A and B are shown apart, each in its own frame.
Chain A
Amino acid sequence: MHVTLIAFLVAVVASTPVLRGSGRDLDYAAQLRRVLGNFVPPDFSVLGATLASLLETVQIAVMATLIAILMALPFSIAASRNLAPFWLVAVTRLLANLIRTIPSLVWALVAVAIVGTNPLAGVIGLAFYSLGYLAKFYSDAFESVDAKVAEGLQAMGAGRIQAFQHGLWPHAQPLVWSHSLWMLEYNIRAASIIGYVGAGGIGVQLHTYYEFGHWSRVSTVLLCLLVVVTTLDILGEKVRATILSSTK
């Protein structure tokens, strides 16, 4: 514990150079007042276009999450120590780690380079990024289940697939759906950003307003995003609680 604390303090001291800023003599408080002043009042004339972009953002997130779930299920079975041979677990876990290492924005950039600047690029980019996370979450869920139940069914004649479907899946299922829901929430937030590289969604609009210095319009977009993300958080929390209560 002490060693960890000392190591952290050393890291903090070593990180102080990043607090120096640009070195220019700026009046930070005045700058903050000026920037925030540009945001108010929000320009609601762009509300219609913003809502349409928001819808597209949610659509990108939903499709990306669905594709990621479909890819992650077999992937995570191959990455679970209690379900797959060691060599397959090692290969799939390494692959999932690699996928997670690359940020969603970079995945979106790659997708834009392949399919052009459109929402499909966003779907592809987010689907691959989510695959890395869901594969890990799902395999952790499968490994956390008491393997004795599935082994018991196998000892009584059930095949491996039957033991998985009837002995392991019912127990892991709530966790799997809970993680999937979290991924959807994450993807809606991420889909708001990937528009910066041309992968569709509200990010495209945000980027345009920012480039042209339309801060009052940026403000409208951010307010709409806030409403959507907060609503989703509350809904997600309720749905997740319902799902997880079925395990008790």
Chain B
Amino acid sequence: MILNHGTTARVELRVQGLGLRRGNQWLFRDMTWSAPAGTLLAVKGPSGAGKSSLLAVLANTLASDEGHVYCPDASPGTHHRPENCRCRVGIVFQDFRLVPNGSVLHNVLCGRLGWYPWWRTLAGFPRQDRAEALDLVQRLGLRSFADRPAGGVSGGEQQRTAVARAVFQRPDILLADEPVSNLDGPSAESVMDLLAQTARDLNCVVVCALHQEDLIRRYADAILTLGSSRWQFQD
């Protein structure tokens, strides 16, 4: 699949007949829904309902037991093949997975690794990328920490760095696993503002596991509720 940065002609994220088991129990089954480009889809449900597992399946870091995920821009009937289009899936991990002794700015820049061949990033990132990353870092209130090691900033700042890295990637699908769990009210709102704006501006699908009902009501275009082996999708 050919990478086409900055494209606006993106299509929906679609799952069909998706099922995932934990041990002998189905976390969810026969899951079918689609989210059009520009949508922020909130995934909610109690702890252990399978929110993180669903996101891992969408990221193709976990294999589903049945069903398929279809990649944006893929030909009809083509399965989601992230080994070909991984760079189009941005992920905010629950445990952040930042390079602890890399600077905050460097971590954000790492979002663009998939854009370039390995030899292009051997001596660093293009100057234009650095400037863009600095703008994003500033917008998230991380400018004064930009040169500090990511392992040396607070949990909330690390979380915002992880969100910035995924947004900086300009993905077609952005998967965020509880991206505001460590943040206070204003910081959580600024991160959700950024994710909602990313969905609109990049015309991508943002899938966000969230617990906070008020944020879900305010930001979500669609809601997927998981729990007790059942699921419910609301536009």
Q: Which residues of A contact B (CB under 8 A)?
A: 148-149, 151-159, 161-163, 165-167, 170-171, 174, 246-247
The majority secondary structure among interface residues of chain A is helix
CB pair B99 A157 closer than 8 Å: no
> Can you report 26 residue pairs joining A to B where beta carbons are below 8 Å apart?
A148-B95, A148-B97, A149-B97, A149-B100, A151-B97, A153-B97, A153-B110, A154-B86, A155-B61, A155-B86, A155-B91, A156-B110, A156-B113, A156-B169, A157-B114, A158-B110, A158-B113, A159-B118, A161-B118, A163-B113, A165-B118, A165-B121, A170-B99, A170-B101, A171-B101, A246-B101
Counting CB contacts under 8 A, is B102 at the interface?
A: yes
- Select one of B91, B95, B98, B99 contacting A156, CB under 8 A: B91
- A-B interface contact total, Cβ < 8 Å: 75
- Classify the interface of chain B: helix, strand, loop or mixed: mixed
Contact B110 A166 (CB under 8 A): yes
Residues of B near any A CB (own CB < 8 A)? 59-61, 82, 86-91, 93, 95, 97-102, 106, 110-111, 113-115, 117-118, 121-122, 165-166, 169
Given contacts A148-B95, A149-B97, A165-B121, contact A157 B102 (CB under 8 A): no
Q: Say yes or no: B100 contacts A157, CB within 8 Å.
A: no
Query: Which of A155, A171, A247 has the most C-beta atoms of chain B within 10 angstroms of its own C-beta?
Result: A155
Q: Given A153-B113, A156-B89, A165-B121: A247 and B61 within 8 A (CB)?
A: no
**B-chain residues with CB within 8 Å of residue A174 when the two chains form the complex:** 101
CB distance from A34 to the nearest CB of B (A): 57
> Could you say which of A151, A152, A161 has the most chain B C-beta atoms within 10 Å of its C-beta?
A152
* In the complex with contacts A149-B97, A166-B99, A170-B99, A156-B111 CB distance below 8 A: yes
Query: Which residues from B are CB-within-8-Å of A153?
Result: 97, 110, 113
Residues of A within 8 A of B97 (CB): 148-149, 151-153
Residues on B with beta carbons closer than 8 Å to the beta carbon of A149: 97-100
